[in-house]
Structure 1
Amino acid sequence: MITCHVRYIIDPYQVDAFERYSRAWIAVVTRMGGQHHGYFLPAEGANNVAYCLFSFASLCDYERYRLEAAQDAEGQRLVAEACELKFIVSYERSFLRPVLE
């Protein structure tokens, strides 16, 4: 299993827009075979940092998801919306290997 961890810097005045975007991506990842662990939005502390975690069975499966999401109508719509509204300032992805019992 490979888990993708994304750290976002978001526009603190557009948290609601980012939350709508997040909820939609959860459905896309799930539909494409991933397991989404959720988005984590600012509550206390920094008001412009958010996180998300989602997993695929392998890095190969994640890469397939990336290719499919780029061609998916909903994925394309979400990327266009984020670019238009600019609620994501920047992001960084890390890949993790979970240790589970």
Structure 2
Amino acid sequence: MFGLSCPTPLLSLTYRHIVDMEQGGGRTVAKGDVRTYYEGGQWKSGVDGGARASHVGGTKAEQSAIGREMARERGVEHRITRMDGAVTQQNSYGNDPESSKG
């Protein structure tokens, strides 16, 4: 866009967010939870129900950081899976039900 390149996916996410804000925002935010998963030989992060991953490549740790930021921005849950698909970590960043007195 401006001829700048970003050395890591996490910096790229931050850069895109800043550019979007400078251009007036207006980006539609998906409602689904975010998950970080391994598919096709690469780590990916995306919104559940989306047609494809939002971010691809890098290490599991890098994609986990990207997925965590995506979930925080959306106020949804973030699930991180192992290579075999089993969920190893799940964090919620909003929309939690109020605890009831029991």
* TM-score, scaled relative to structure 2: 0.28
Higher RCO, 1 or 2 (CA under 8 Å, sep at least 6)? 1
Whichever structure has more helix as a proportion of its residues is 1
Larger Rg: 2
Instruction: Considering fraction of residues, name the structure with more strand.
Output: 1
